[in-house]
Amino acid sequence: MNLIPNPGFEELENGSPKGWATRTWSGDPALATESGSAASGSHCVTVSAETLTEAGHYLEVEVRPHMVYRLRGWIKTENVHGSGRGAMFYLPEVVKNCSPTVKGTHDWQRIEHVFDTGDTRRLRINCLFGGWGQVTGTAWFDDLELVVLHPSLGDHLSLGVSSVVARNLASNADSASLTEWILRLPAVNSDLVGHLVEGFSRGWPPNTAVTVNPDQLARLQGLLDRLSEERQVDLMKLALKAGVSGLVGRTIPPDLGDVSQATVIRLFPVKEQMLFDKTEFTVPAGRRVKIVFKNNDSMPHNIVVGRPGSYERIGTAADRMLTDPRAMDRAYVPALSEVIASSGLVFPGQTEVLDFTAPKEPGKYPYLCTFPGHWRLMKGVMTVAKE
Ligand SMILES: [Cu+2]
């Protein structure tokens, strides 16, 4: 399906092709719609100039990112000369932004350009006269066609591969190389950096810490600030493994959803104390509970709610997770049937809503942070009461 509206300039509005506009970068061109000389149908557009010029007709279309598209169109030229490349289709928003170009004098010929949209969602398609310089003469443009061909698998493959490569690199690297790589991350583009962070994090050798100075930490914080929340967590996981502290994530306030039927509990860690600000709260049996846990501390925490009497068992199981290489991916939550609700690992600056249904059985249900070393202090009791 052709994605270009009015592709042959047949539909006119006040004498100009509908949907199209013109732009002159330099020179004094005549930008016109002509009838009688079209490649097909009755109209085409032209750019004509006696003095050196760069100008064109353009329109904008919506496209899908990371797809390969094919643009075709017809171009005719007469005495096109100058320092510019000539007549072409020019797509400034994509990497491969210039179609084959035509100079001199040629009858209508079909020009084809296949390109990858990358991150682009909106594309400006220029029927350009000039291009990286200026020209004189006349060019005619007609019958454009833009179709989607297929997803740009290559990009995704190469990004995915970068994660695997980073993982293997990290697992065999010494601490000097690891430090250098971490410090280079802020210079990497946003598409790639997430994959590198993920790869480094997975391959990170145990007990390998890197040292960063305040400037370097500020640059890493700058990187963190431009990542999505999901990627922020990846980077903070990596920082945790690498012993880098002081990074603070930013979360948009979580959407609590419908709270009319829920008991909302707001819970904070006490800064640098390994304590929860509340050591007890009460919820009605069998009803929805939303614990909003905002981590305003400088270290990660989680919250795990267990069955009555399970506090020690969950805590000692958490201690045993210290030697489990996948512990961080499991947010340090032991796989025990006594656990009735648990959050992810909540990093500094982040907020998580632990959303669950309170047990039907009234009783004293312990809650604790199972991040290594915290559970003996960071604890409380959730009382489930009959309504
Ligand atoms: Cu904790």
Please, which contacts does 177-183 make with residues 24 or more away whose CB atoms are closer than 8 Å? 178/204, 178/205, 178/208, 178/210, 178/242, 179/210, 179/211, 179/212, 182/210, 182/212, 182/220, 182/238, 182/242, 182/244, 183/212, 183/216, 183/219, 183/220
Work out the pLDDT band at 157, boundaries 50, 70, 90: low
Residues whose Cβ atom is located within 5 A of ion ligand 1: 301, 369, 371, 374, 378
Is there a domain that residue 308 lies in? Answer: yes
Is there a domain that residue 1 lies in? Answer: no
CA distance from start to end of the chain: 62
Is there a domain that residue 50 lies in? Answer: yes
Domain boundary among the residues 241, 275, 302 is at 241
Distance 183 CA to ligand 1 centre (A): 27
For residue 297, the tally of other CB atoms under 10 A from its CB is 19
Judge if 145 and 123 occupy the same domain.
yes
Over residues 88-109, the pLDDT tens digits come to 999 999 988 999 999 999 999 9
Over residues 177-204, the pLDDT tens digits come to 888 888 888 888 777 888 888 889 888 9
Residue 287: which CATH number? Answer: 2.60.40.420
For the chain, give the percent of residues with pLDDT over 90.
69
Distance 37 CA to ligand 1 centre (A): 76
The domain tally of the chain equals 3
Judge if 235 and 328 occupy the same domain.
no
pTM for the structure as a whole: 0.59
Residue 118: which CATH number? Answer: 2.60.120.260
Distance 310 CA to ligand 1 centre (A): 18
Judge if 44 and 144 occupy the same domain.
yes
- The first and second tokens of residue 92, run together, are 């400034």
Judge if 164 and 50 occupy the same domain.
no
Domain boundary among the residues 241, 273, 300 is at 241
Domain with 84 in it: 12-151
Is there a domain that residue 185 lies in? Answer: yes
Q: Is the pLDDT of residue 306 over 90?
A: yes
Dihedral angle, C-alpha 232, 237, 240, 244, nearest 10 °: -40
Distance 193 CA to ligand 1 centre (A): 28
Judge if 169 and 144 occupy the same domain.
no
98-112, 120-134, 147-161, 292-306, range with the lowest pLDDT = 147-161
Distance 377 CA to ligand 1 centre (A): 9
Is there a domain that residue 4 lies in? Answer: no
Distance 192 CA to ligand 1 centre (A): 31
Closest CA to 306 of 374, 359, 270: 359
Judge if 131 and 69 occupy the same domain.
yes
